[in-house]
Amino acid sequence: MTRAFSCVLGLLLISTGLCPAGSASGIQNDADSGVSEEEYEIYSSIIKQYYLRPDTKLIMIEERTFRYDFAVDEEPWREKKKGVIIDGSAADDYELKNGQQWLLNKDAFKLPVKAALITDHDLKAIFHGKWGDLEWINYYRRFPDSRGFVMFSRIGFNAQRTQGLMYVGSRCGPRCGDRYFLLLEKTNGAWSIKKELRNKSFG
């Protein structure tokens, strides 16, 4: 296989969402075929629970999964809290999956309103690494129907796939946004939030 053909093939795979974003080699982790349908179902449920309002017209989602980096002594799955037992395999899976960023597919979200992805290019063009008032004015000029944008990590599941760990956060202005690290639990075939291991709102 020629070098040129390899590069073209790699670009095609990335554009179709079959490769992790940021993979220099274009080779996918054999243990993970990408963001699963189950993860998209959970993402959609979280959006409905945290970010959907009666007057919401558009949900903007960052196109790449987002890893929130905790200090070693702050990692929530290492804490021992009353009534909370976190399976080590869920934490391991979270760490493995979030070692790289993954492209999301807006059509995989199941929401009652329109969903769109905000790209790296959009973020750089609007914010230039700053998150001040002027930048947010420019953001809302471009996306007037949105309430900022939402970010998701990949979801780490335990071996039995009955427990999950994930990060979700949002930005909606200079002093507007939130972040959560959630412990999920599957009972009777349905996922729900067992506990907010971390939560913080801005503004």
Q: pLDDT value at position 77?
A: 80
Q: pLDDT value at position 32?
A: 57
Cβ neighbours for 8, distance < 8 A, ≥ 6 positions apart:
none
Digit-by-digit pLDDT tens for the chain (203 residues) are 444 434 333 433 333 333 344 443 333 343 457 999 999 999 999 999 999 999 999 999 999 999 888 877 788 887 777 778 999 999 999 999 999 999 999 999 999 999 999 999 999 999 998 999 999 999 999 999 999 999 999 999 999 999 999 999 999 999 999 999 999 999 999 999 999 999 999 86
Torsion, Cα 128 134 139 145, to 10 degrees, reads 170
The verdict on pTM exceeding 0.85 is no
Q: Which residue has the tokens 């290492």?
A: 78
Q: pLDDT value at position 66?
A: 93
For residue 58, give the 3-state DSSP assignment: strand
Q: pLDDT value at position 115?
A: 97
Q: pLDDT value at position 14?
A: 36
Give the largest CA-CA distance in the chain: 58
Q: pLDDT value at position 203?
A: 67
Burial 152-174 (b: 16+ CB within 10 A, else e): bbbbbbbeeeebbbbbbbbbbbe
Q: pLDDT value at position 74?
A: 82
168, 149 Cβ separation under 8 angstroms? no
Secondary element (H or E) of residue 92: helix 88-97
